[in-house]
């Protein structure tokens, strides 16, 4: 892709409306100064002194952060949070994002806010070191009243947006947003709105999902196709094409440092390598940057290969942002594209 084509594609981003249906969480970073260490008088254990606390939307919120960075017209989160302090922080962080509207984001006393608490040791001239994470999750099924709100939101938005992104982030089925009942509604939407772009990603796998655009990694592809995990690129491409033909939708497969494969039902398949590493990296959030860039590029009319190229640019930018779950803006993408194009030339 050249810069002129990039500019033509991304010029359409500001017209797009995308709904993100998924598990929004609060990423809370506790920045620890090791120079202020103490020993607790009461327990005799080391004390980590936190000198700064910062929070941002995580989980599905990481996808949302990337969509905001890409300059979309409107991003609509469909999910829930608890009526607790973490929920207040999460709503405030979402409200502060340009283009985000919270009409379909449900605060409820029946749930705790999904929270990742990340203690970071910060030392001068050294990369951040993350200690054991502290998670707050829900371990019971999402209440029917909350599920019904999510179903109604999805049905309403299907006729008002350019794309849906589904992100299932929870460890136990039916304890989050993308429950079986919500997937039933998505299935209905695929039949009533066949032209609506719906991109899905799930940490527990996509086997129970309706026929939408799948984004997954190589191990998830193997589980989904009931095949042995393979590393041969040609075989991964063949599996992706087979699944895409079966689904009638595009399939995207990330393969870590080797990049990404994309296939469509017509048999077209491409592999785009990951960009070279340019220093210290942190891969957290790379997959969500890929999802955001793929969806936006497809909605803007990019070809299959162009979608993959944009996704790899986004992932490369994000992995070089340390101590945070990063984002990639259109100017960031353009600058990296120009840099890589100059090297290739």
Domain map (residue ranges) of the chain: 3-29+58-344
pLDDT band of 344, cuts 50, 70, 90: low
On the question of pLDDT at 28 being above 90, the answer is: yes
pLDDT of residue 326: 84
pLDDT band of 324, cuts 50, 70, 90: confident
Counted residue by residue, the chain has a size of: 345
pLDDT of residue 231: 81
Q: Report DSSP letters for 117-173, one per residue.
A: EEEEE--TTS--EE---EEE---SPPPHHHHHHHHHHHHHHHTT-SEEEEEE--SST
Residue range 88-99: average pLDDT? 96
| pLDDT tens-digit map of 216-272 | 999 899 888 887 777 889 999 999 999 999 999 999 999 988 999 999 999 999 999
On the question of pLDDT at 323 being above 80, the answer is: no
Model confidence, pTM = 0.92
- CATH topology for 3-29+58-344 is 3.40.1190
Q: How many CB atoms lie within 10 A of CB 258?
A: 15
pLDDT band of 116, cuts 50, 70, 90: very high
pLDDT band of 42, cuts 50, 70, 90: very high
pLDDT band of 63, cuts 50, 70, 90: very high
Residue range 171-194: average pLDDT? 97
On the question of pLDDT at 5 being above 80, the answer is: yes
> CA torsion angle for 274, 276, 278, 280 (degrees, to 10)?
60
């Amino acid at each position: 892709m050249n810069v002129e084509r990039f500019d033509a594609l991304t010029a359409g981003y500001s017209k797009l409306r995308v709904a993100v249906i998924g598990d929004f969480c609060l990423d809370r970073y506790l920045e620890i100064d090791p120079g202020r260490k103490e020993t607790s008088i009461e327990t005799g254990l080391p004390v980590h002194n936190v000198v700064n606390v910062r929070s941002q939307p995580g989980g599905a919120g990481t996808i949302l952060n990337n969509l905001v960075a890409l300059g979309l017209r409107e991003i609509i989160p469909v999910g829930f949070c608890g009526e607790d302090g973490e929920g207040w922080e999460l709503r405030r962080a979402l409200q502060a994002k340009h283009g985000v509207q919270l009409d379909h984001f449900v605060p409820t006393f029946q749930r705790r806010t999904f929270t990742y608490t990340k203690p970071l040791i910060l030392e001068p001239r050294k990369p951040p070191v993350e200690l054991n994470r502290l998670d707050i999750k829900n371990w019971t099924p999402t209440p029917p009243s909350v599920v019904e709100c999510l179903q109604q939101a999805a049905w309403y938005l299907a006729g008002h947006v350019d794309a849906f992104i589904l992100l299932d982030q929870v460890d136990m089925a039916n304890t989050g947003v993308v429950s079986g009942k919500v997937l039933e509604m998505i299935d209905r939407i695929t039949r009533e709105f066949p032209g609506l772009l719906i991109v899905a990603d799930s940490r527990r796998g996509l086997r129970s999902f309706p026929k939408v655009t799948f984004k997954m990694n190589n191990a998830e592809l193997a589980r989904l196709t009931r095949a042995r995990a393979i590393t041969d690129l040609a075989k991964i491409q063949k599996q992706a094409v087979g699944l895409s033909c079966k689904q009638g939708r595009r399939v995207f497969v990330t393969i870590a440092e080797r990049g990404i494969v994309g296939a469509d039902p017509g048999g077209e398949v491409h592999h785009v390598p990951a960009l070279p590493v340019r220093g210290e990296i942190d891969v957290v959030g790379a997959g969500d940057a890929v999802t955001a860039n793929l969806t936006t590029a497809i909605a803007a009319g990019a070809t299959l290969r162009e979608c993959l190229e944009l996704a790899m640019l986004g992932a490369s930018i994000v992995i070089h942002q340390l101590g945070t779950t990063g984002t990639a803006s259109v100017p960031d993408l353009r600058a990296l594209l120009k840099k890589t194009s100059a090297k290739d030339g």
